[in-house]
């Protein structure tokens, strides 16, 4: 199940929480602001972001503008990534990870991208995954 996507450069991968921190100017947003031009997001995490924005009462046209303004590259969720994500289910249960969390970790592992998140629990994942994780706050 090879993935045909080739990233042009080694990019940073943003978890939904990191994008929200940037959008809301929450603690740690400066870290994301400094790497945003060389970052990407999984399409699954993009879906999570849209859900958060929608539940926050942001109109659809504004959601589209926010995405265009702050999401530089979107990585499609392939069959291979879906399988990798599913295989993280035991870890997910132990650490309370969502589907978006697992998709982000699987994407980061697959493309060997450093993942940026606000989720402190992810710091405990280094022994169970090959993901390089940076906690921004």
**Band of the pLDDT at 39, cuts 50, 70, 90?**
very high
Residue 8 has pLDDT above 90, yes or no: no
pLDDT digits (tens, 9 = 90+) for 45-92: 999 999 999 999 999 999 999 999 998 899 999 999 999 999 999 888
Q: What does the pLDDT read at residue 2? A: 42
* Structural domains of the chain ordered from first start: 15-135 (3.40.50.1010)
pLDDT digits (tens, 9 = 90+) for 87-131: 999 888 889 999 999 999 999 999 999 999 999 999 988 788 999
Q: What does the pLDDT read at residue 126? A: 75
The kind and range of the H/E element at 41 are: strand 39-42
d(CA 59, CA 101): 25
Q: Which residues have CB under 8 Å from 75's CB, separation 6+?
A: 5, 7, 13, 40, 41, 42, 43, 107, 111
- pTM of the prediction? 0.91
Query: What φ, ψ does residue 128 adopt, rounded to 5°?
Result: -110, -5
């Amino acid at each position: 199940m090879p993935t045909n996507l080739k990233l042009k450069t080694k990019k940073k991968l943003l978890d939904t929480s990191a994008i929200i921190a940037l959008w809301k100017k929450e603690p740690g947003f400066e870290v994301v602001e400094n790497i945003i031009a060389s970052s990407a997001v999984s399409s699954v995490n993009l879906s999570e972001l849209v859900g958060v924005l929608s539940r926050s009462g942001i109109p659809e046209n504004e959601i589209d503008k926010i995405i265009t303004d702050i999401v530089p590259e979107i990585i499609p969720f392939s069959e291979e990534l879906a399988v990798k994500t599913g295989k993280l289910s035991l870890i997910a249960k132990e650490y309370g990870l969502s589907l978006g969390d697992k998709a982000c970790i699987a994407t980061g592992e697959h493309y060997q991208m450093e993942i940026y998140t606000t989720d402190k629990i992810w710091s405990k994942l280094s022994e169970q995954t090959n993901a390089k994780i940076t906690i921004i706050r």
